[in-house]
Amino acid sequence: MTDNAWLERWNERYSSEDFAYGTEPNNYLKEQLEKLKPGIILFPAEGEGRNAVFAAIKGWNVSAFDISSEGKNKALRLAENNNVSIDYQIGELKSLNFQTEQFDAIALIYAHFTADIKSSIHQTLDRYLRKGGIVIFEAFSKKHLEYIAKNEKVGGPKDIGSLFSTEEIKADFPDYDIIELEEKEIELNEGLFHNGTGSVIRFVGQKQ
C-alpha cells in the first residue's frame, strides 16, 4: 500500500461524523494510566484522540501525532468538548521535532505500522522517553489473523508483518524492566471498528 493510499484510507475512516473507535479511552490504557502520577505523555498514531483526551482530563501534559488531518480535527473537537487541550501534530515521526528524553510516558495503543518501519519507530520513540519512563502498549498479536477470519468486525491489520509478538516487543524495547508482557484474548467494544473477540499483546515497561 502506498503512503498516499494509506493516508487516504485513514482520512476516509476519520471523516465521518461518528468516531471510528468511539470517544471512550481504551480499557488497558485507562487502567495503566490510573496507576501513574501525571506527567508528560506522547500518543503516537493517535487518530481521533480518545486516549489523548482522557489523559489530558486526568491531568497529563499531552502530545500526540498521526498522519491523518481528519483524525486531528476530530481529536481537537473532542478535547474542546472536554475542556482540555492537547498538542497534536500531523506527520510521520521522523519529520516531527520531539526531543530526547522529553516524555515521562509513551502510550502505543493500536499503533500498527508496516513491518519495514515498526521496529525503527519503536527505537526512535525510546529516545524520546526519559530514564525511568513508562511505555504502555496494546495492539493486535500475530495470532489475531485467526480472529479476523471468524469475525471481520473485530478489526485490525490483515498482514502478519503489521501484527506483533512478545518476542518483537522484547527486541524493540531491550533496556526495559518488564512490568507486564502477555499475549491475551480480549473482548473489544470500541466504536465502529473494534468489536468482538481478538488477540492482543499487552506490554508495560519501565526504561532502565
Query: At how many degrees (to 10) do helices 3-14 and 69-81 cross?
Result: 30
Q: Note the pLDDT of residue 101.
A: 98
Q: 88 pairs with which residues across the strands?
A: 64
- CATH number of the domain that 120 lies in? 3.40.50.150
Which one has a higher pLDDT value, 15 or 71? Answer: 71
Residues 6+ apart with CB under 8 A from 66: 10, 45, 46, 47, 72, 88, 90
- pLDDT tens for 1-44 read 447 887 788 888 888 888 989 999 999 999 999 999 999 999 99
Report the candidate in 203, 69, 205 with the shortest Cα–Cα distance to residue 139.
203
pLDDT bucket at 56, cuts 50 / 70 / 90: very high
Q: How many domains does the chain have?
A: 1
The pTM (predicted TM-score) of the whole model is 0.94
Which residue range is the domain that position 153 belongs to?
3-207
Q: Note the pLDDT of residue 2.
A: 47
Residue where the block lists cell 483524525: 71
